[in-house]
Structure 1
Amino acid sequence: MSGTSSKLRDPRIVAAIVASALFMQNLDSSVVATALPSMARDLGQDPVHLSVAITSYLVALCVFIPVSGWIADRFGPRRVFMWAILVFTGASALVGLAQGLGTLVGARVLQGLGGAMMVPVGRLLLLRRVSKEELLTAMTWLTMPALLGPVLGPPIGGLLTDAVSWRAVFWINIPVGALGLLLVWRFIPEMEKQDPGPLDTRGLILWGLALALLVSGLETIGRSLLPGWVTVVALGLGLLATVAAVLHSRQVVRPAVDLSLLAIPTFGMPMLSGTLFRVGAGALPFLLPLTLQLVFGLSASGSGLVTFATALGALVMKPLIRPLLQRFGFRRVLVVNSVLAAAGVAVCALFNPAWPPIAIFAVLAAGGLSRSLQFTSMATMAFADVPQNKLAAATAMTGTIQQFSVALGVVLGSLTLAAGMEWRGTAAPGLAEFQAGFVVAGLVMLAMLPGALRLKRDAAARVSGHQG
């Protein structure tokens, strides 16, 4: 065991093992978008309406992630991490067996419960083992293997959908989950439990209600999924629950969501302004496969082979992130790159069926470079100044906000399509609706710029190594 213990002093080893969970979740997210049209045909649903298969999972993540930090401290992060992988893997198998929209959504919610514990608790396992100086290396290694999920997801998802069935894209999580369990059991020892204090049950209920009602209300606007008054009531109650949750969190000693963390500039900026960036970027994986399949006429496998360029560009960027941050610092990178990344999404509005696939591939790969730089920079900077005793709360809040942003990204994409269809009086989205969606997504991403400009020039310099 001494050899294993010495290896675990290297943050790259722990990061690579924890990344197996991120790989599985990212693989799942990317294959769902590619398989969506086939799922809709099989289940007799509209492809745009079936975005509920994505948002139901994301809502479950948002509801359960806030309690992940408390559970990890109470029962030990290694044990919770292993149970989370088991639940996520089992729920993936159930999704593949679903015969209707109701059972599909139910299995996706269970999958979200597993994912809510899996990713933030896995990140906590890593963060408690690294120093601030090792943070950038650890986060880079954590996200590099995880990027294999979206790299492999679209082509694998498309090929499996065309050759077997959309159900097979969920069953591939079974061997991945089994491997992740084996690696954690063999190589990562349990950490000491910490006293998380009493569970803030009222806060968890209020935040869970707020996030679930807001996403559900936004998801059903103008979609004819529910009566209009139900949507209005859901949004109204969601806003009231949000206000109540904020007031409650400011009054208790150990809240389920610790809003005091937002006062740390290097944490608050990526959580608040960075949310706008994530929302816009989150619309792209929803809009792009639908554009290529519904408008350009590509098969699921053809669409997957084109869209995986986005993740391939992200993977290529990873080795360049450290030198860029050392040379320019977090502030300059985030300011300049937010413009480049927003343009990389908005430019997709120029795509049309006359474009050769290789040209679309090149544009998407270039956009993947800038989004990868932005995501990794924000994720690393967020933990630069968080004290050790606040790490569990910070990972829980980070996971909640990130997944809520992704859910809002899907909602943004589907709402833009629905609004365009209503405006033009069409029953199905056409090229114009998708073009509008890409432009809107790019503008929302650009809205993070003012927050990035307010960062100090030496923000998180201890982590980046930037010397002025």
Structure 2
Amino acid sequence: MNTETSAPSSRLLLWLVAIGFFMQTLDATIVNTALPAMARSLGKSPLRMQAVVVSYALAMATVIPATGWLADRFGTRRVFMLAIVLFALGSGACAMSRTLTELTASRILQGTGGAMLLPVGRLTVLRAFPREKFLEAMSFVAIPGLIGPLVGPTLGGWLVQYASWHWIFLINLPVAAVGLWTTLRFMPDFRGSDLTRFDLSGYVMLVVAMLAISIALDGVGSLGLQHAVVVALLMMGLAALAAYWLHALRTPAPLFPPSLFKIQTFRVGLLGNLFARIGSGAMPYMIPLLMQLAMGYSPSHAGMLMLPMALAGMGMKRVVTRIVVRLGYRRVLVFNTLALGLMIASFALMTPSQPLWLRILQLAAFGAVNSMQFTAMNTVTLKDLGPGHASSGNSLMSMVQMLGMSLGVSVAAALLSTFSGWFGAVDAGPQAVSVFRGALVTIGVLTMTSAAIFWQLADDSHRVPERADTADPGQAS
């Protein structure tokens, strides 16, 4: 369903979608460097601020499965405008928050809007551009998504140090105002021609499962829930997940058809995405805290230290395809997952007296390994999906990516809380190094165990695999 659009209108549409993607990825990373400053302002411990990050990622994970149906039902223009409005309202509410509860609720609102920006924008581009121009159009849209994580931590640290943490949210408002006007004037209003009934029952079951499991893990880290409550929430989450599976088996048009899991590369890649991403999702949250609380860096310096990681990650994307073609997905993912776990654990060796060049080299090495992990496991997950499974499979993978990042932050916070109890409740200073060391080694070991999932892939080193160039909307976090 394509429409004839003028060249200026096409360019404005691409810029609009690209800026929306940039806003989403920027706010997924800009907060991490500001957490200690937020904690001081709100009277909380820096090690109890993970709800600010988890709420954003979890809101995105719960909304993403419904975005395609909403755009088909109400039109791409209306839903994209709604996304911008919710994102702007959430940003303004974050800046005005006076308690951690208010800030968390505002981040949920912001994440709800952010969840719709990329999927609806991508759907609009798909329908507005002919097939031969779609790849070029999406390549243009993807560039700001890579720039967001690059500038997010640095910009966040600079704003915190020279203005206040409120400005990391206020800068979204003028961008949102321009985006809203541009959407109203230039975005086509596409609707689905073959609209099916939304699987509301299955959607509710999945949301309950994600929320229950995430709250249970976060309850260990910050909510102070009793063990009995945590166990009950975990059981509720697992029961809801089992209920969805049984529901999907008997429903004609489930949200995610069980036939997806008959594809071996998809089921292995999806599970690997979830568990390996727990380690990868924890690090953007852990590293700025480690640098500021244990190593004594200022917010701006801690943010700038994230640049080598982002730059190395972008550079690695140029060589991933050649490595996968030479070795195959199985070997690359097994050995790279082990390397990723070792790199995470290696941060436990950091001390305040180490030279800066060694720290930069370590962060760059982690960024390169992490980038290879994202690209290879995303591609292997989607590469064998046929036309009938492409949409639902891509949506499910996006949801799992966000869920994995949310769980990663929750696990990291729970480990920091546990080791803080063992070594003494210390928020900053040399004593905090031991707390971070214990958490980093544990997360590294957990990540290495997920290599066993990728070992289940068929050995494809004897043949040339497809290009490993799948974009990762979740790498921003």
Q: Map 1:285-324; keep pairs closer than 5 Å.
A: 285-324=284-323
Q: Map 1:402-441; keep pairs closer than 5 Å.
A: 402-428=401-427, 430-441=432-443
1-side partners of 2:408 and 2:107: how far apart? 18
2-side partners of 1:71 and 1:389: how far apart? 19
Corresponding residue of 1:338: 337
Deviations 1:228-251 (A, max 9, x none): 443333223222222222221222
Q: Residue 184 of structure 1: CA displacement?
A: 6.2
C-alpha change, 1:222 and 1:329, in structure 2 (3 Å) is closer
C-alpha change, 1:145 and 1:169, in structure 2 (3 Å) is same
Deviations 1:96-117 (A, max 9, x none): 1112222212211111211222
Corresponding residue of 1:70: 69
**Cα RMSD, aligned residues only:** 3.1
Pairing partner for 1:451 from 425, 429, 453: 453
- Contact 2:272/2:454 (CA < 8 Å) preserved in 1? yes
C-alpha change, 1:174 and 1:303, in structure 2 (3 Å) is same
- Contact 1:130/1:138 (CA < 8 Å) preserved in 2? no
2-side partners of 1:183 and 1:313: how far apart? 34
SS of 1:382 mapped into structure 2:
helix
Corresponding residue of 1:169: 168
Q: Residue 253 of structure 1: CA displacement?
A: 1.5
Q: Residue 406 of structure 1: CA displacement?
A: 0.4
Counterpart AA for 1:112? G
Corresponding residue of 2:157: 158
- Contact 1:59/1:407 (CA < 8 Å) preserved in 2? yes
Q: Residue 416 of structure 1: CA displacement?
A: 1.2
2-side partners of 1:66 and 1:355: how far apart? 45
Counterpart AA for 1:42? S
- Contact 1:330/1:460 (CA < 8 Å) preserved in 2? no
2-side partners of 1:132 and 1:421: how far apart? 55
Deviations 1:319-371 (A, max 9, x none): 33344444444444333332333332221111111112332122111211121
Corresponding residue of 2:474: none
Q: Residue 293 of structure 1: CA displacement?
A: 0.9
2-side partners of 1:69 and 1:345: how far apart? 36
Deviates more, 1:152-161 or 1:22-31: 22-31
2-side partners of 1:235 and 1:3: how far apart? 53
Q: Residue 225 of structure 1: CA displacement?
A: 3.2
SS of 2:29 mapped into structure 1:
helix
Corresponding residue of 2:475: none
Q: Residue 398 of structure 1: CA displacement?
A: 1.6
Q: Map 1:355-370; keep pairs closer than 5 Å.
A: 355-370=354-369
C-alpha change, 1:91 and 1:236, in structure 2 (3 Å) is same
2-side partners of 1:270 and 1:252: how far apart? 25
Corresponding residue of 1:40: 39
1-side partners of 2:310 and 2:364: how far apart? 7
Residue 63 (structure 2) pairs with residue 59 (structure 1):
no
Residue 199 (structure 2) pairs with residue 200 (structure 1):
yes
C-alpha change, 1:226 and 1:363, in structure 2 (3 Å) is same
1-side partners of 2:441 and 2:140: how far apart? 32
Deviates more, 1:22-31 or 1:226-235: 226-235
2-side partners of 1:171 and 1:71: how far apart? 28
2-side partners of 1:21 and 1:296: how far apart? 35
SS of 1:245 mapped into structure 2:
helix
Corresponding residue of 2:82: 83
Q: Residue 159 of structure 1: CA displacement?
A: 0.7
1-side partners of 2:304 and 2:146: how far apart? 16
2-side partners of 1:133 and 1:267: how far apart? 27
Deviates more, 1:433-442 or 1:182-191: 182-191
Corresponding residue of 1:4: 7
- Contact 1:35/1:300 (CA < 8 Å) preserved in 2? yes
Q: Residue 378 of structure 1: CA displacement?
A: 2.6
C-alpha change, 1:374 and 1:49, in structure 2 (3 Å) is same
1-side partners of 2:132 and 2:445: how far apart? 34
- Contact 2:273/2:401 (CA < 8 Å) preserved in 1? no
- Contact 1:119/1:399 (CA < 8 Å) preserved in 2? no
Gap regions ≥5 residues in structure 2 = 470-477
Q: Percent identity between the aligned chains?
A: 34
C-alpha change, 1:399 and 1:71, in structure 2 (3 Å) is same
Q: Map 1:157-236; keep pairs closer than 5 Å.
A: 157-178=156-177, 189-191=188-190, 193-221=192-220, 223=222, 225-236=224-235
SS of 1:145 mapped into structure 2:
helix
Q: Residue 288 of structure 1: CA displacement?
A: 0.9
C-alpha change, 1:389 and 1:169, in structure 2 (3 Å) is same
C-alpha change, 1:132 and 1:116, in structure 2 (3 Å) is same
C-alpha change, 1:164 and 1:252, in structure 2 (3 Å) is same
Gap regions ≥5 residues in structure 1 = none
Counterpart AA for 1:385? D
Pairing partner for 1:461 from 461, 465, 476: 465
Q: Residue 14 of structure 1: CA displacement?
A: 8.2
Deviations 1:419-438 (A, max 9, x none): 11222343547111211222
C-alpha change, 1:361 and 1:82, in structure 2 (3 Å) is farther
2-side partners of 1:181 and 1:309: how far apart? 34
2-side partners of 1:78 and 1:379: how far apart? 29
Instruction: Give the TM-score taking structure 1 as reference length.
Output: 0.87
1-side partners of 2:138 and 2:437: how far apart? 34
C-alpha change, 1:99 and 1:431, in structure 2 (3 Å) is same
2-side partners of 1:379 and 1:417: how far apart? 29
Counterpart AA for 1:4? A
C-alpha change, 1:385 and 1:291, in structure 2 (3 Å) is same
- Contact 2:221/2:410 (CA < 8 Å) preserved in 1? no
SS of 1:352 mapped into structure 2:
coil
2-side partners of 1:14 and 1:381: how far apart? 30
2-side partners of 1:455 and 1:93: how far apart? 46
Corresponding residue of 2:253: 254
SS of 1:199 mapped into structure 2:
coil
